[in-house]
Every structure is written in structure tokens, then in C-alpha cells.
Amino acid sequence: MAQSGHYPQLATPYERSNFLTQFPNAFYQLDNTLALRELPNKTINALLVLEVPDIGFEWAIRHAKRDDFKSSKLYWQRYLQEVSQSQFVRLIEVFKKANKVNVLTDIAARRVLPVFYQDWLALHHGVSPLSLSSSRLSAHSVITPSTQSYFSNHCVNRVLLLTDHFLGLDELNSLREQYNVAPEPSAMSYCFSEPMYIGNVMECSRNNRAFAQCKFELLRNEFPDLESQADKFIVMTQKGRANVRGNIMTLNTDSKYAVFLHELMHFSGFEDEYPVPEAKALWLCATQGQHAPNLYVGASESAPQGWRKSNTCNRGRLQSYKPNNKWSIMEYQSRPLSEQYRMLWQQAIRMEHGGKRSIR
């Protein structure tokens, strides 16, 4: 520290910060070795009166670290063009760790981001992985469908995990890890790949019933070798309710594990036990017979022994029945998987697995 006859000897950081808090103008008497990031909040707050860009930006960083993004913006937008690259990177790293995509998008419109952060933002916005080099993707630990997935020979269903946005990689990995702790309905029923990033190639959106709807033919065109790698596919999108169509499941970023398990059962043909939409009930509930592991349609005397009325076909022509009169995971996703339904699921998997089905 530069010393002056007008200032006392300030030997410790504590003494220096206290003195600056009381006398902010003394900041100009210090040499350039003073590290703003090491000063306590009360000192930085006191120094704001000087309107020095580095000080104001330091305050923006601290607000961001406290998740006070509105207050942070008041300062960073004022001084954004005046601070060093290193201080600029400190701020955007805070927003990156907090997954504040919109904030970084706003900042990127005002000052050019380093390439690493440009790529991070582009991945969140669904850029095609084919537009980035392997080294740039690797910097973000991104795996793409161009990487071959390998499964155990004992897997009954090989499942590729795909996402159209960067945040989906962590969400899918979390679901996969939770499943692997206690596989359902039994070990090796489903084996999941590492989550893969595919970008916005499928142009996923919501349909008129708010379900996620993706153009899977575009995925096949972009990655022609993808279909041969697995039996089933799970795609995590940013919007749209979870659903299963054939061998494709779509989830959204907010999908919980209970939803994931419910949708896995749809893979094996289980039907919802709450009232299905009228359009579906018209064909599902029109003929007598067992149409799913948990659904019989027809007269009560013909239903399997012990089965009870269900709500599936409330909008259909015939009555529906389910394996028992208790609520199940197929009616309320928050319900645990019962032993009876686990056994039905195991039977369904044994019956269903007769070859690979193509994306449709």
C-alpha cells in the first residue's frame, strides 16, 4: 500500500477495509495491488460513491452471487463496457453457474462473450451439435448421437436419452441415476445411455392438449445411424407435458421421477387409470377384451377375477376394469409402484420384447 503522511500505517486487511469504509476517498491513495474482491461488502458499498467502474461492477458480482439479479443488473449494465475481461468473466461465470440463460443472453447482446460462454449459451438455445467442433462440445462435457452407445448384452430394453437443450443433460442424468439405484420392474429391464444433446433438430412444441410434440423424422434425417442404436428413445424438451408414442417418450425439464416411472410403464402398454380423452375412449373402449396389462374393457362378469371398475373408459361406450380397487401409479403418478403392478409390468416386458421398433 502506498503510504502518505496524512494516513496512518494500515498493516492488516482489516485495518485497510475499516479505514476505506470510513474514508472512501482514500481509495485513490492506494496502489493498484488492492484486490476489490477481497474487501468486505460494507467497504465496497461505501466505495460506490466514487462511481469507479471496477467498484460498481464488483457490487454487481456480489448481488449476483446472492441471487439478487435485479439489483445486479443496475450495476453491470452501467459499467459493462468499462471493466476488464477478467472481471467481466467473473460476472458471467456467476450467471452460468446459476443457469441464468436469459441474463446471459441480455449481456451477450451488449458485449461479446468469450467463445466458451458463447457456446454454453448456444447449447441452451438448441444449436445443432453438428455446428460445433468436438473439442468445443467436449469443453461442456457434451455427448452427441454421433457417439456410439454400448449396452450390456443382458439389457431387455436399450434406451437412448436425448435432449434438445443443454439443461436437459443434467435432468436426464439425474433421472437415470435415480433409476439405477432401484431399477424397475427388475434389473436390466431398461438400460439407459449417457444423456446426449441433439439440439433443436426436432422442432419440439406443444400440441393443442399441451403435450410435447416433436418431429422425429427430422431427427432421423439429421442422425441416420441413431435408430439402430436402441430399442426406445427418451427425449427431454423444454416445453410440453410428458407422453409416450410408440417407442418414443417425451419429458420436459420439470418432469419428476414419478412422472418418468409412469411413462416407462406406458412403454410396456399400460394405460392411464384416470379418464382418457373422448377421442381415445371412442376406439379404446369400443370393443370387449383386455387391451393393456392394467385394462379390461367389457362386462364385469367377463373381467379377470378380482378386477374392479376403473375410470379409464368413463367417456367410452363400454366399462373399464383395473387389477384392484386401489389407486395406482397409473392413476396418480405420486403413488408408489405396488408389488402387483410390478409383477404385471415384468410380465408385460417379457411379452413385449420381440424385436426393435423403428422411430415413427
Cell of 73: 443488473
Closest-CA residue to 267 (of 228, 302, 286, 293): 293
Cell of 269: 402398454
According to DSSP, residue 241 is labeled B
Residue 289 CA to residue 33 CA, distance in Å, equals 82
244-277 burial: b if 16+ Cβ within 10 Å, else e: beebbbbbbeebeeebbbbbbbbbbbbbbbebbe
DSSP E strand stretches across 59-211: 157-163, 190-192, 196-197, 205-206
Closest-CA residue to 236 (of 191, 197, 180, 192): 197
Per-residue pLDDT of the chain (360 residues; tens, 9 = 90+): 444 445 555 556 667 777 777 777 777 776 555 688 888 999 999 989 999 999 999 999 999 999 999 999 999 999 999 999 999 999 999 999 999 999 999 999 999 999 999 999 999 999 999 999 999 999 999 998 877 788 999 999 999 999 999 999 999 999 999 999 999 999 999 999 999 999 999 999 888 788 888 999 999 999 988 888 899 999 999 888 999 999 999 999 999 999 999 999 999 999 999 999 999 999 999 999 999 999 999 999 999 999 999 999 999 999 999 999 999 999 999 999 999 999 999 999 998 765 444 444
> Could you tell me the CA-to-CA distances from 266 to 56, 167, 218, 294, 345 in Å, in that order?
54, 25, 24, 11, 10
The pLDDT, as a whole number, for residue 33 is 52
The pLDDT, as a whole number, for residue 3 is 46
Residue pair 248/217 in contact (Cβ under 8 Å)? The answer is: no
Output the pTM of the full model: 0.85
Residue 200 CA to residue 293 CA, distance in Å, equals 35
